[in-house]
Chains A and B, each alone.
Chain A
Amino acid sequence: MNPARRIGVVSVVAIVLVTAAYVIGSRQNSGEPVHARLRFVSLAWQERALAVNRAIVAEWNAAHPEMPVEYVQGTWNSVHDYLITSFETGDVPDVFHYESSVIIDFAMRGFLTDLGPMIDAEMKDDILDVAWASVRQPDGSVAGVPFLMESLIGLYNADYMSRAGIVSPTLNDPWSWDDLRDAAKRMTLDTSGDGTIDRWGAAIGLRNCANIMMNLSIGFGGSFFRKENDRYVVRVGDEERKLLTTIYDMIHKDRSTSPTSIGQSGPAMIPGFFQGKYAMMVGIGAWSRQQLVENAPKGFHWGVIPPILAKTQEAGTSAQTLSIPVASKRKSEAMAFIRFMLSRENMARLAQSDWMLPARRSCLETPEFRDPATGWDITTASAKFLTTGTWMGAPGYVEWKSRVANPVFQEYFSGRLSIDEVAVRIEEESNTVLGRYQERAR
């Protein structure tokens, strides 16, 4: 075929492709009217959680053929950009799944419907106060309905504990941080005697550790965020320093906590826990039990460490939520779907499938959330120690966490900053970031 003919053929193919694309691409415009379906963006991604979400949507669609829901699977890494562009262009999902610390920011910018007047008394009473506190704005409006509670737990290798003669902590006899340090030291081993540690007593995923530091510092009385003269400021006082210095000492002085923790996330350390490189994992999400139940090698015995006692056993939490954008044209239908999705029975299914705490009291009381074999007993019992941090509702918190707290904490744990330098940098840089948001809010 000569070049001229070849180019002609290619042109024809291009025209056919474009025409077909137009036909396929505009098919939903020619059928049912746009938004005839409620669009629900969900962030479930684990196999079981996906199946349960889809099943609940299918049940809703079967029961409400006049008001079908279209299930759209979003992703945690991209949902923020997806939602921001949706809010700005007005082409929004009717219901979306996200987390409390972020939706408060969205609500403050006027993107979300106040769900307070739309929530019925049964749901209002049954959902934990701490969960409501995480989604309530300073003016009392509600940015979303909380349904899954994040909680940080500790895990231990039961065989290493018993071999080291350490008694496992219990709900009635929890460990203090000193107990944890002591246990980590006793389980750290150089089995070959070559001066290299073969098993670390503990591992803590410190790659993006602001979340862990903030939530667990609450037990020491640390809050980081304070309100001074009606403005949020960040202060790093003695209480805020205690957890930071404890973990620093475990890594650098005790040499009982793996230094590779500094560059790794909690999930990335789970294979090392299975291989016996670490005797304990501290400050990992409660969902991690799923990996242990489903993927641990045969004969791997493990347990959950109850909330560690500092001044108290309290720890911060945030909730996963369902919200309705202001721009949704079908708010009451969207709320009816949320009521169905987060009924007592369905919330229990969602929490079980995601291995997280349900926000309803009535769910927590059921036997399925008390099973000791899967660590639900201790995880559920720890719900009473959950509280919301003072940073909930602080404008700019999300940016602060990623731009200020995570890098500064990481530099500290790497040994490049002293604790005093951490305090100075966190306070200075934080107040610049927060100030920008607060100026904008005024």
Chain B
Amino acid sequence: MKLHSRLIDAATHAGLLLFALFLVFPLIWMIGTSFKPTTEIYSGVVSVIPEAPSLDHYRTIFQEQSIFTSMLNSFYVGIASTVIAILIALPGSYALARYSTRWNKIILGWVLGSQIFPVILVMIPLYILLRSMMLTDSLLGLTLVYVVWALPFVLWMLQGYVHSIPVEIEEAASIDGASRMQVIFRIVAPLLLPAVGASVLFAFVSAWNEFFFALVLMKDPGLMTVQVELARFTGMEGQARTGPLAAASVLATVPSVILFGFLQKWFSSGLLAGAVKN
């Protein structure tokens, strides 16, 4: 029996390792390509490690494009939209989960329904609306768009999580004399951290990776975001400047990876284990 369970354990780990390799391989390939000279990329030799590593592509992206400015712009709108979306969604999700009214279903239906509209459908009315408020070609305008775009999903995710927190915990806190606000901020908010972490990651990454709104709303080259900047290394008929594109993509990946590293501890499960006696 022991041998059998060990075998299953080993097979599970091997499977997970293979899956992790499968997931991480494109990233490794991209990093390798970013250090390969162009002639090596075109040689067609399949190798992850460059034969003659070079920093030429990194030099090119800094000389040719405003990659740092665009990353800063993306970072800015990403962080701002994430924080605002979370601040709106936290009390909103609590209200949706805890106060049952006839509007709840309608609101949640609208939240889900809003996700089915294709971007292109809302683009022109949205542009005209933002222009009337002088918010086109503005990081604030783009931030607001990203807040609106991320909010439904974040709200949906958080309210689902609030539902899963036993109401008995809040009742116990109330019996001990906690006010409603104390219950929300001292009891519920800490328990929501894993969900907030996931929501932060979702909102930030979706803002960081967004292309079309940034392309259309931002006209000033100094306000371009990183995804628009990355697209500039691609050309017609599926051509691309593979080396500089890989180098720029490596840099563009870094903030998301760092953010994930910071948030990882929030994802720890079991916060609620044993909280109530069933």
A residues near B (Cβ < 8 Å) are 2-4, 7, 10-11, 13-14, 17-18, 20-22, 24-26, 28-29, 39, 43, 45-47, 50, 70-73, 75-78, 81-82, 85-86, 88-89, 91, 207-208, 265-268, 270-272, 274-275, 285, 291, 294-297
Smallest CB–CB gap between B150 and chain A, Å? Answer: 14
Contact check, B232 vs A28: say whether CB atoms are below 8 A apart.
no
Residues of A within 8 A of B143 (CB): 18, 21
Q: How far is the CA of A324 from the CA of B161 in the complex (A)?
A: 53
Which 8 interchain pairs have the tightest Cβ spacing? A25-B138, A271-B44, A25-B139, A14-B83, A4-B185, A76-B236, A295-B42, A17-B80
Contact check, A207 vs B238: say whether CB atoms are below 8 A apart.
yes
In the assembled complex, B235 has its CB within 8 A of some CB on chain A: yes
Smallest CB–CB gap between B236 and chain A, Å? Answer: 4
In the assembled complex, B158 has its CB within 8 A of some CB on chain A: no
Smallest CB–CB gap between B70 and chain A, Å? Answer: 11
Q: Pick from B142, B219, B232: contact of A45, CB below 8 A.
A: B232
Q: Pick from B39, B137, B215: contact of A81, CB below 8 A.
A: B215
Contact check, A21 vs B87: say whether CB atoms are below 8 A apart.
no
Q: Known pairs A26-B138, A78-B212, A274-B44; list 20 more (Cβ under 8 Å).
A: A3-B185, A4-B186, A7-B185, A10-B83, A14-B80, A14-B83, A14-B87, A17-B80, A18-B84, A18-B140, A22-B138, A47-B64, A50-B64, A76-B235, A78-B211, A85-B127, A86-B216, A89-B127, A89-B128, A271-B42
Contact check, A3 vs B43: say whether CB atoms are below 8 A apart.
no
Q: Pick from B44, B83, B219, B221: contact of A91, CB below 8 A.
A: B219
* 19 residue pairs A–B, Cβ–Cβ below 8 Å: A10-B83, A14-B87, A20-B76, A21-B80, A24-B139, A25-B137, A25-B139, A25-B140, A26-B134, A26-B138, A45-B233, A78-B211, A85-B124, A88-B124, A89-B128, A274-B43, A285-B237, A295-B38, A295-B42
Q: How far is the CA of A22 from the CA of B144 in the complex (A)?
A: 11
Q: Give the interface centre of A21, A73, A85, A285 by most chain B CB atoms within 10 Å.
A: A21
Q: Which residue of B lies closest to A4 (CB)?
A: B185
Residues of B within 8 A of A266 (CB): 237
In the assembled complex, B272 has its CB within 8 A of some CB on chain A: no
Residues of B within 8 A of A207 (CB): 238
Q: Which residue of B lies closest to A2 (CB)?
A: B186
In the assembled complex, B239 has its CB within 8 A of some CB on chain A: yes
Beta-carbon contacts of B26-45 to A below 8 Å, as 1s and 0s? 00000000000011011110
Residues of A within 8 A of B134 (CB): 26, 29
Q: Give the interface centre of B86, B190, B211, B219 by most chain A CB atoms within 10 Å.
A: B219
Q: Give the interface centre of B127, B140, B141, B234 by most chain A CB atoms within 10 Å.
A: B140
**Main SS at interface, chain B:** helix
Q: With A85-B216, A91-B131 given, is the CB distance from A297 to B140 under 8 Å?
A: no
Q: Pick from B79, B124, B142, B231: contact of A75, CB below 8 A.
A: B231
Smallest CB–CB gap between A206 and chain B, Å? Answer: 12
**Main SS at interface, chain A:** helix
In the assembled complex, B60 has its CB within 8 A of some CB on chain A: yes
Contact check, A21 vs B84: say whether CB atoms are below 8 A apart.
no
Contact check, B136 vs A91: say whether CB atoms are below 8 A apart.
yes
Residues of B within 8 A of A294 (CB): 38
Smallest CB–CB gap between B105 and chain A, Å? Answer: 29
Smallest CB–CB gap between A362 and chain B, Å? Answer: 26
Contact check, A208 vs B137: say whether CB atoms are below 8 A apart.
no
In the assembled complex, B123 has its CB within 8 A of some CB on chain A: yes
Q: Which residue of A lies closest to B76 (CB)?
A: A21
Residues of A within 8 A of B223 (CB): 25
Q: How far is the CA of A24 from the CA of B80 in the complex (A)?
A: 13
Q: With A76-B235, A78-B211 given, is the CB distance from A14 to B84 under 8 Å?
A: yes
Contact check, B189 vs A7: say whether CB atoms are below 8 A apart.
yes
Smallest CB–CB gap between A46 and chain B, Å? Answer: 7
Smallest CB–CB gap between A273 and chain B, Å? Answer: 9
Residues of B within 8 A of A268 (CB): 238
Q: Which residue of A lies closest to B60 (CB)?
A: A47
Q: Which residue of A lies closest to B236 (CB)?
A: A76
Smallest CB–CB gap between A107 and chain B, Å? Answer: 20
Q: Pick from A20, A76, A82, A274: contact of B216, CB below 8 A.
A: A82
Contact check, B234 vs A45: say whether CB atoms are below 8 A apart.
yes
Q: With A72-B219, A274-B43, A297-B43 given, is the CB distance from A77 to B231 under 8 Å?
A: yes
Contact check, B140 vs A28: say whether CB atoms are below 8 A apart.
no
Q: How far is the CA of A73 from the CA of B229 in the complex (A)?
A: 9
Contact check, A275 vs B44: say whether CB atoms are below 8 A apart.
yes
Residues of B within 8 A of A3 (CB): 185-186, 189-190
In the assembled complex, B120 has its CB within 8 A of some CB on chain A: yes
Q: Give the interface centre of A14, A39, A274, A297 by most chain B CB atoms within 10 Å.
A: A14
Contact check, A75 vs B232: say whether CB atoms are below 8 A apart.
yes
Q: Which residue of A lies closest to B142 (CB)?
A: A25
Contact check, A46 vs B241: say whether CB atoms are below 8 A apart.
yes
In the assembled complex, B220 has its CB within 8 A of some CB on chain A: yes
Contact check, A265 vs B38: say whether CB atoms are below 8 A apart.
no
Residues of B within 8 A of A10 (CB): 83, 86-87
Residues of A within 8 A of B248 (CB): none
Q: Which residue of B lies closest to A10 (CB)?
A: B83
Residues of A within 8 A of B139 (CB): 21-22, 24-25
Q: Pick from A22, A28, A270, A297: contact of B39, CB below 8 A.
A: A297
Residues of B within 8 A of A270 (CB): 42
Residues of A within 8 A of B44 (CB): 271-272, 274-275
Residues of B within 8 A of A89 (CB): 124, 127-128, 131
Q: With A3-B190, A21-B139, A26-B138 given, is the CB distance from A271 to B43 under 8 Å?
A: yes
